[in-house]
Amino acid sequence: MKRSKTTKALALAGLGLTAAALSGCGGSAVAGMESEEPRRSAEVQPDIPMEAVVEPHKRSGELTVLSSRIKESVGVEAFGQSWIEDGTLHVAVTTEDAAAIVTESGATSHLVRFSEADLMDAARSVMAWSAGQPGAPGALGRISIDAVGERIVVGVAPGSADQIAVAFDASIAGDVDVEFEPTGGPAKTY
């Protein structure tokens, strides 16, 4: 397929705009000159200083890095899950020693029975079980782990939760609780 020079120029311009957008560029500066003031959307939130928007994202990134460091320190067998709530990092762990490391790092610890690895193993077991069940593979949707709730949650097609729960052998997931919750149904394409 042969492309015209105009098509190539438009494609390159589009790539340039995409790269600028992804790199955080895109103010109202003229090419070759930088804008002195960060771009703001005065029409949307004129009274909110840029720091109020940037700082939470920066803090979230710092907490994500801290979570990774904590996971590395306590090990996968003791790490349950982490989340950010009200600007504070919360970390679910399976041992008192790991909880002490979490607290010393400035995060809030939660003692739980199952590690993330345990919950992922249980989730894989549920997926393997569903592959062998007539009608179940299409009925199962997302599977999410909930370390604090000490369970995995399986999204299922509307109207099939009771049927799947009855067919499900709870021993498949070991000691981990498995809950089936109806979802909005399969994804639709338009």
Report percent pLDDT > 90 for the chain.
38
Q: What is the pTM of this model?
A: 0.63
* pLDDT 10s digits, 63-109: 989 999 999 999 999 999 999 998 899 999 999 999 999 999 999 99
Round to whole Å and give the CA distance between 21 and 119. Answer: 38
CA 16 – CA 41 distance, rounded (Å) = 22
| Domain tally, the chain | 2
Same domain, 103 and 122: no
**Does residue 134 form part of some domain?**
yes
Domain end: 88, 111, 134, which one? 111
Mean pLDDT to the nearest integer, 181-189: 68
89: domain range?
51-111
Residue 156, pLDDT score? 84
Whole-angstrom distance, CA of residue 72 vs CA of residue 100: 14
Residue 146, pLDDT > 50, answer yes
Query: 26 or 110, which is more confident?
Result: 110
Q: Looking at per-residue confidence, does 115 or 2 come out higher?
A: 115
Q: What CATH number does residue 158 fall under? A: 3.30.300
Whether 154 maps to a domain, the answer reads: yes
Residues 125 and 174 in one domain: yes
Residues 102 and 120 in one domain: no
Of 148 and 132, the one with more pLDDT: 148
Please determine, for residue 13, whether its predicted confidence score (pLDDT) is greater than 70: no
